[in-house]
Structure 1
Amino acid sequence: MSADAEAREETCPDCQAGPDNMDVRTFSIGKDPDTGRTTTTVTWHLEDCPSYTVQQILLEDGVRRAEERTEWTRQEFPAAQERLLDLVMRGEFDATAKPFVAALVELVEAQGEDLGRFVTPDRWVEILNKHFPPDEEPTA
């Protein structure tokens, strides 16, 4: 554990399970509001604990919603990308907008290559530097 992290253990207030009489243990990560330090908390539960049951229901619901959103994205992203490219091909924008449009198109293409991940910041920098090159270093 790093110097900025702190481990905590807690007994469940609902089922009173602890390390010696538990069926399940859960881990959570958070930030201490007073110190700002990252904390990990281990909580013990009995199998029929109401708090543990609620946690499981919320976890399963979150997974279901994430899967639905992923499927929606896989269906909708290509259509949105196509609409963007159609507008670009019409060229209905002024010269000032051209590098912005080109960068946007390239970023959308980079994301479209793999919808299961995010375009990394270093790839953003590469694309933006290509369309908006950094100023030359001044020579003295």
Structure 2
Amino acid sequence: MSENLPAASDVRRRHISKRMKVALDALVHGEVSSVTEAAEKAGLSREHLSRSIGEPHIRELLNEKILRNLTLNAARAGATKVKLLDSANEMVKDRASTFLLGLAGINPQSAPAAPATATTPGVCIIIQQRDAQLPMIDVTPQIITP
């Protein structure tokens, strides 16, 4: 009979403390750069925060916060790329325009490849199988006596 009941985690989401939420928010919004700093900011031990991040309900909340943050900041990132089109730096303008054109599905043609007949400088190593009939040449230094 108990097999038909949903698991406790399916019925009600496990409680996440305010301190844990503060630590996760600090990580997601870039207020801190490490788990240690996030734990200090929230008043938690580093070990507890690290262990808790491995728990499924904490990971789920962290992933939700990350996706929400990325969604909200995607518009800002797009606006920044558009503003870079008016940059004084030509390289910045070129990269921004190439990026935006790529998003629109318009990709610039790459430079034509060198023709097959053209030779390029370099070293060519040819490995040949030794023929068993060739004599071995002894190159051991000889002592010459006068």
Give the structure, 1 or 2, with the largest relative contact order (CA under 8 Å, sep 6 or more): 1
Q: Quick check: which has more Rg, 1 or 2?
A: 2
More strand by share: 1
Structure 2 length as normaliser, TM-score?
0.35
